[in-house]
Amino acid sequence: MSEMVINIISGIAYLILAPVMGGLLAGIDRKISARMQRRVGPPVLQPFYDVFKLLEKQTVAVNETQSFYIFGFLLFVILSGLFFFAGGDMLLVIFTLTLASVCFIVAAFSSNSPYSQIGAERELVQTMSYEPMLLLVAMGFYLHCGTFSIEGILQSSRMNFIYMPGIFIGLSYILLIKFRKSPFDLSASHEAHQELIQGILTEYSGRTLAMIEVAHWYENVFLLGFVYLFFAWSAPWSPVLGLLMCALAYFGDIVVDNCCSRVKWEHMLASTWLVTLVAGFANIVFLMYVK
């Protein structure tokens, strides 16, 4: 019973704290990126200012339906994070996340604008690229811990990372896509005005755009939760290590973001699938037959 209470509490904590954490992470990201480019950069709280401003602004739209799909996107991202932090089934989490990204993509398609459609197609290719690895992550945990439930994985007797380094490499690779970082910021780059305005984000404004931003915050936080799972086991000090590794993973992605230029979708698809095949699959084979 007490475990259930803990699950519910952590679910609620996620609901409230995730946007705060996500916004701060985004702010830190912008600050670090600026410093790496020898700029002062915006204040750390800048993402919050942006979102509050967007909420204040008039919403212009190209049709009546697009904001509905975006609402679905936000809702299902929150829902999947909720399942994750309430210790739910990992496959359920991934499937709900997929549903959310389908909502996001369909919203862009519905505007029938060339720029958002290019963004949507690229987003779709991105989804196709990372989905196998994400599923393999779940499979890896199942093979290692014998359960898909996050709650069960957290009670693992040894650090999961030791048995799943390949899968961790694969996950880190696809996190670049999920965080929308270079070299894989194909669908909605903040620096790609000349190429596709803002890709998948082109046709949104005001509250709708704010919803997307908040959804990304939620998403980023619970994706870092996946990283955490690799370094969590029953030892009392494992949360410290877990959080440290999350921070490290995020910082690593910022560094990569600032070092790389955007690649073509072909390269993204090929390289991601290759990493999935080599690192992810080799690890799965190890877990299945050797361990």
Residues 141-170 that bind other proteins (CB under 8 A): 142-143, 148
According to CB under 8 A, which residues from 245 to 284 bind other proteins?
266, 269, 273, 276-277, 281, 284
CB-nearer residue toward other proteins: 78 or 245: 78
25: its two tokens: 């992470």
Work out which of 4, 8, 20, 63 binds other proteins, going by CB under 8 A: 63
Taking the complex as a whole, how short is the minimal distance between the CB of residue 234 and other proteins, in angstroms? 23
Q: How far is CA 178 from the centre of its chain?
A: 4
Q: Is residue 105 at the binding interface for other proteins, with CB under 8 A as the rule?
A: yes
List binders of other proteins among 214-243 (CB under 8 A). none
Residue 45, CA distances (Å) to 16, 24, 39, 164, 217 in order: 17, 7, 17, 36, 13
Q: What is the pattern of x (binds other proteins, CB under 8 A) and - over residues 187-216?
A: ---x--xx--xx--xxxxxxx-x-------
Choose the binding region for other proteins from 82-90, 171-179, 243-251, 253-261 (rule: CB under 8 A). 82-90
Q: Of the two residues 206 and 252, which places its CB atom closer to other proteins in the complex?
A: 206
Before 183, cis peptide (omega within 30)?
yes
37 binds other proteins (CB under 8 A): yes
Minimum CB distance to other proteins, residue 203 (Å) = 6
From the list 182, 243, 151, the residue with the least C-alpha distance to 37 is 182
- Nearer CB in complex with other proteins: 224/284: 284
Q: Is 132 in the site for other proteins (CB under 8 A)?
A: yes
Contact 109, 139 (CB under 8 A): no
Separation of alpha carbons 239 and 134, rounded Å: 22
Residue range at the interface with other proteins (CB under 8 A); choices 13-21, 122-130, 238-246, 251-259 = 122-130
For residue 275, the tally of other CB atoms under 10 A from its CB is 20
Is residue 27 classed as helix, strand or coil in its secondary structure?
helix
Instruction: Give the three-class secondary structure for 264.
Output: coil
Residue from 56, 158, 264, 278 that binds other proteins (CB under 8 A)?
56
Q: Please identify, using beta-carbon distances, which residue of 21 and 75 lies nearer to other proteins.
A: 75
127 vs 147: CA distance, rounded Å:
25
Shortest Å, Cβ 135 to other proteins: 4
Q: Which of 212, 190, 177 is nearest to 75 (CA)?
A: 212
Query: Which listed range, 2-10, 55-63, 179-187, 233-241, lies at the site for other proteins (CB under 8 A)?
Result: 55-63
Mention every residue, 6+ apart, whose C-beta is less than 8 A from residue 6. none
